[in-house]
Amino acid sequence: MSATSPIIHPTAVVDPSAELGPGVTVGPYAIVEGAVMIGEGCSIGPHAIIGCYTRMGARNVIHGHAAVGVEPQDLSFKGEPTWLVMGDENRVREFATLNRGTLKGDGSTKIGNRNLFMSCSHVAHDCTIGDGVILANNVLLAGHVVVHDRAILNGAAGVQQFATIGRCSYVGGLTRIVHDVPPFMVVEGHPSKVRKVNTVGLQRNGFGAAAIESLRLAHRKLFRSLRPKSEVIDEIQSHAEVTPEVHELCEFLRRMERGRNGRSLES
């Protein structure tokens, strides 16, 4: 056996049809089902389950008792060959569950790169997760949810199906999300509300002072005014100096306005 050959614990169960890349390790009592592809340098922890039709990129770490690519919790699912597709360098902690897609979606759940799924978090069928996302302990995503890059959802937040979580947003712990979360904003409470600009998160992600200040000004106009939101958006976007971040925020809000109950995916 070469130094880069997969290392499989004697108690692990790996289907003969599974494809394991160089340097993959599979821990005690782990299960890797059929039609699975696991990329170079991945680590599958003890008692973890990698369900059939899972495609995983490189250097992902799946901790003990996690379940990745297992059947969706959807009554319409009848065992069809649907997928979970994961990128590189994700970390899936203990007892987290990531379900594969259904035919009601496009047949796949999509996970990007360098995401952290903390213990007992759940990603349901047909979700799409971007890059650099953090789901804290016990965060629950219902089916068909989209989470854009570098969003953070704190402990026990729950997200309704077809909701969209905007880029670099911050969802407070125990928050119930029934509508889209605008990018760059902090959303907290029950019912959830936009509270302020995610200043700390933006600074950590390299946004400059001018971009952050432009979002603060837009926040005051959009969320502190009693005027119709569409009217305020038109006014903001009519200015030639509108920043890319404010433009992105305004376009996101336009899509929300067109969606069912503030969910643009149901427009």
**Residues labelled catalytic:** 125-126, 143
DSSP state letters, the chain? --TTS-EE-TT-EE-TT-EE-TT-EE-TT-EE-SS-EE-TT-EE-TT-EE-TTEEE-SS-EE-TT-EEEEPPS-TT--S---EEEE-SS-EE-TT-EEE---TTTTSEEEE-SS-EE-TT-EE-TT-EE-SS-EE-TT-EE-TT-EE-TT-EE-TT-EE-TT-EE-TT-EE-TT-EE-S-B-TTEEEETTTTEEEEE-HHHHHHTT--HHHHHHHHHHHHHHHS--S-HHHHHHHHHTSTT--HHHHHHHHHHHHHHHSBTTBGGG-
Side chain identity at residue 172, one-letter code = G
Tell me if 238 sits within 8 A of 218, measured CB to CB. Answer: no
